[in-house]
Amino acid sequence: MSRERVDEGKLSAVGVTALDEQLYRRLLTAPGSTLAELTAGTGIGTTRARQAVARLERCGLVSRRPGVPARFMPAPPDVAVGSLIARRQDELERARLEAESLLADFHQGTRYEHSSQVVELISGQAAISQRAAQLMSGAEHEVVLFDKPPYVGAQDNPDEMDALARGVRWRAIYSTESLTEPGQLARMTAFRDAGEQARLSPVVPTKLVIVDRRLALMPLGVDGSDAAQTAVLVHPSSLLSLLVTHFDGMWERSISFDQHLNGGQPPPKSEQRVLQLLSAGLKDEAIARQLGISLRTTRRWIAQVMADRGVTTRFQLGLVVARELTS
């Protein structure tokens, strides 16, 4: 049995349907309207309109004035919609707390007595892609990954762009053969410009995504095999620790994306100047002003020199830069 689809309006995030929103907007410009006046010329049936107004009353967006016929008054949008937003935020917070409780129950019930509790099998490309998107969109601190052909579907990866915008650290090791894929170089450059730290290696063993060093997703088989349509989600375990350690080791041995494009040459003079200004204790904003470049470019350069030197904190970078400038 098919269900009638409820169109979403601009206020759908707070539980207001497109029909409800349409009537509320009409009421804002014609307060005190009756139901008939409110729906005149809209083609909206009386029953649907009555149900919509009842929902608006329950949401606190509309109040009914006594009398026959009943007339309706809109609540001020800043107060009424603000109240709905606060209510939805409370609901989301309760859901988040409940998710944490469910996760605690999950970990309590799975003590890795069997191998099936360490890895979760996911079958089918659609299911794998969905789980990968869930992992990346839920990242809080860091995403690291191996990337190599073949590619399936669009590679724009809006989840990465969203994560970078949230401040999630994103490190990727690409197979050098991926540069031969149409459009891949432009995509990698766009990710780099958005804040991704990218490196290249001639040998990338498999595709792999590790999120916050607590979950990893990787294909079960080699590309082109039937098993490639199955992936494993690895939970906290010695296997996950092994994957994290393997990534860290390959990161140290790989070359940066920019170095590859520049033929492996040392950083340009502008980046050497960045190092000098960093060693002098200048903040990012001051460095950007000194060099006459944007703050975004400055931070991208700093992230790149950190990646090139295999350091993860500004303090570590300071120690390395001090040695370089005095050697």
Bridge-based pairing of strands 169-175 and 142-147 is: parallel
Instruction: Please list the pLDDT of the chain residue by residue as tens digits (327 residues).
Output: 333 334 456 787 787 888 888 888 888 888 888 888 888 888 888 889 889 889 888 888 888 888 888 899 988 888 878 888 888 888 888 888 888 777 766 665 555 445 556 888 888 888 888 899 899 988 999 999 999 988 776 667 888 988 888 889 999 999 888 877 777 878 888 898 889 999 988 788 899 999 999 999 999 876 555 556 889 999 988 899 999 999 999 888 888 877 655 544 434 566 677 777 777 777 888 888 877 777 887 887 788 778 777 777 888 887 777 776 666
Handedness of CA 248, 250, 253, 255 (dihedral sign): negative
Q: What is the pLDDT of residue 240?
A: 92
Q: What is the pLDDT of residue 292?
A: 74
CATH class of the 267-327 domain in this structure: mainly alpha
Model's pTM, two decimal places? 0.50
Domain segments of the chain as ranges: 1-109, 115-265, 267-327
Q: What is the pLDDT of residue 147?
A: 92
Task: Identify the CATH number of the domain defined by range 1-109.
Answer: 1.10.10.10
Q: What is the pLDDT of residue 229?
A: 81
Residue 295 belongs to what H/E stretch? helix 295-308
Q: What's the angle, vertex CA 84, arms to CA 79 and CA 86, rounded to 5?
A: 90
Topology match between the domains 115-265 and 267-327: no
Cα 126 to Cα 33, 262, 309: the distances in Å are 49, 38, 38
What is the CB neighbour count within 10 angstroms for residue 69? 9
Q: What is the pLDDT of residue 117?
A: 67
CATH 3.30.870.10: does it fit domain 115-265?
yes
- Give me 32's structure tokens: 């005190």
